[in-house]
Amino acid sequence: DVVMTQTPVSLPVSLGGQASISCRSSQSLVHSNGNTYLHWYLQKPGQSPQLLIYRVSNRFSGVPDRFSGSGSGTDFTLKISRVEPEDLGDYYCLQSTHFPYTFGAGTKLELK
């Protein structure tokens, strides 16, 4: 299975500040069709995961432009600018290039 190494485990931030989360895969996530299937989710307390970013850098419907994704190959980053209270929670990366799908271990974004 592809191992997704997500860092940091915990990320204290100030409201209005910026946060950066890293996700590295144990093998390239470039699919045979040329696309890279690396996605990001946010799970707020008491809620189900919500899709933020799909295929590295595409924001899902309704996701504010404070969220941005980047990266290629095995190294990916989610950045959150101007952090707001509703951004707090657990962030996960997910790869769906290789079977079986695998998730990162999660990053808890919390107030400093």
Partner 1 sequence: EVQLQESGPGLVKPSQSLSLTCSVTGYSITSNYWGWIRKFPGNKMEWMGYISYSGSTSYNPSLKSRISITRDTSKNQFFLQLNSVTTEDTATYYCARTTTVVTPFDYWGQGVMVTVSS
Size of the site for partner 1 (CB under 8 A): 24
Instruction: Pick the binder of partner 1 from 7, 20, 30, 60 (CB under 8 A).
Output: 60
- What's the full length of the chain, in residues? 112
10 makes contact with partner 1 (CB under 8 A):
no
68 to each of 27, 43, 63, 99, 103, how far by Cα in Å? 23, 17, 10, 26, 19
Residue 55 or 66: the one with the smaller Cβ distance to partner 1 is 55
Q: The tokens 């769906």 sit on which residue?
A: 96
Torsion of CA 50, 61, 101, 12, to 10 degrees: -50
35 makes contact with partner 1 (CB under 8 A):
yes
In the complex, the residues that contact partner 1 under the rule CB under 8 A are 31, 35, 37, 39, 41, 47-51, 54, 60, 90, 92, 94, 96-97, 99-103, 105-106
